[in-house]
Amino acid sequence: MRKLLTFFVLSNLYVSFCVATLAFSFQYIYSSFNINVILFLFASTFMSYNFHRIIIVNNNHKHKRRKWVLENYNYLRLVSVFSILIMIFVFFKFQRITQVLVLIISLISFLYPFFLRKIPYIKIFVIAFVWAFCTNILTFVENSIVIDRQIFISFFKTFLFVIAITIPFDIRDIRFDDLKMKTLPIVFGSVKSKKIAITLLCLCLLISVFEYLVFDFKIYLFISFFSSYIYSQYLIRFSSEQKEDWYFSFFVESASLSLLVFLIITSNFL
């Protein structure tokens, strides 16, 4: 079980599950479901993260995951082939406009480890934009739903949320990242970066209050977002360079799936 759990987390199957879960959370909130989007996001996230991992590991012989990646390379390749088949199958089931958007996002993801990641200050914003776009906008486009003000606000809130929960990973990597990358922890230090992350969560909460008052957000939805932000701020508050990698790879990563957990709980009791 320990080996299976380790493989699930370190192979990026876990983060893929988290992305798919976050997308499903918004499908649940807006009652606009699409299993093809969920399957594609799971498979494409797995491929994207492992592609980045292999590139980074090959360029950094001291990378903390290098040994594990080399030891499990054949397993990763097998799962990657399966993921590619899912991506191809689902891609051709999408509408043309969705296919175009997927290709644009895929290009951004492909360029990330070669070019975008090295541009000062931009790393965290690229990650947040891709996550927010894929988990919010993609479903509505594929389901032919007009992107109105409420959906755009939801996208912006998710963008801020992903920036907040990504900052701990930059804190973890501060010893390994090139100083020229200018991540928030490199520029402001770990303590101020955590304050920035918590401030962003507070902004997310204010946006949720606005949604509740203006868009007639149901009370269980508001409580779910509020609970997810409280949970996330604790994860951010206790993150540090000294924490083991599992704290970030498992617990901090769980912030993105916490929304669905709280949605399930509150919708059954409120």
Q: Give, in degrees to the nearest 5, the angle at Cα 263 between 139 and 129.
A: 40
Q: What is the DSSP letter of 34?
A: -
Give the separation between CA 9 and CA 119, rounded to whole angstroms.
Answer: 28
Instruction: Please report, to the nearest 10 degrees, the dihedral formed by the alpha carbons of residues 18, 24, 28, 29 taken in order.
Output: 70
Enter the pTM of the model: 0.92
SS (H, E, C) 118-165: HCCCCHHHHHHHHHHHHHHHHHHHHCCCCCCHHHHHHHHHHHHHHHHH
Residues 6+ apart with CB under 8 A from 158: 22, 26, 131, 132, 135, 136
**Per-domain residue ranges for the chain?**
2-269
pLDDT tens series, the chain, 270 aa? 777 888 888 888 999 999 999 999 999 999 999 999 999 999 999 988 887 776 666 555 555 566 777 777 778 778 888 999 999 999 999 999 999 999 999 998 888 877 777 777 888 999 999 999 999 999 999 999 999 999 999 999 999 999 999 999 999 888 776 667 788 898 899 999 999 999 999 999 999 999 999 988 899 999 999 999 999 999 999 998 888 888 999 999 999 999 999 999 999 887
b (16+ CB within 10 A) / e for 188-199:
eebeebbebbbe
Residues 6+ apart with CB under 8 A from 23: 37, 38, 41, 134, 135, 136, 138, 139
CB 116 within 8 A of CB 138: no
Give the separation between CA 242 and CA 249, rounded to whole angstroms.
Answer: 14
Task: Report which residue type is found at 208.
Answer: S
Give the separation between CA 41 and CA 138, rounded to whole angstroms.
Answer: 10
Which residue from 251, 19, 174 is spatially nearest to 27, judged by alpha carbons?
19
